[in-house]
Structure 1
Amino acid sequence: MTIKVVRGNPTPEELAAALAVVRVRAAAASAVPPGAPGPRDSWSDPARLAGRHVPQPGPTSWARTYWPA
């Protein structure tokens, strides 16, 4: 694995901290058995898109029923 600094001048401590985060994430990803579902990302959670607002019946309710896949 190669890490390249493209901007800035990080200190050795900053590089060590960034590398530690990358290594922990890589170790966690490799610990998941093949074929097992990974952790659910909050960006792909449909509940985040729907929020708490439920469309009410009315003349313009069709415009609020869009549910992206």
Structure 2
Amino acid sequence: MSLEQIELLESLGLKLFFVAIFLLIGLAIQDVLKRGNVPKFGRYIVWLVLFLGCAGFITKGVIEALWEGGGVG
């Protein structure tokens, strides 16, 4: 394997790891909300915050990819 292939594999593995972490966090939050009998409004706020954090992380990755592809960073 060349160095470029190894770097690509590491990059994909790290991104898949983060997807798995976000999924596990979501499942843990869902379990806590169900067991705590949290009202609907509170559940919506929790899921909104989780979604915005995930969306920010994805946006950061897209911006980095665009900048690196354009030679900025």
TM-score of the superposed pair, with normalisation by structure 2: 0.39
Max radius of gyration: which structure? 1
Q: Which structure: greater helix fraction? A: 2
TM-score of the superposed pair, with normalisation by structure 1: 0.41
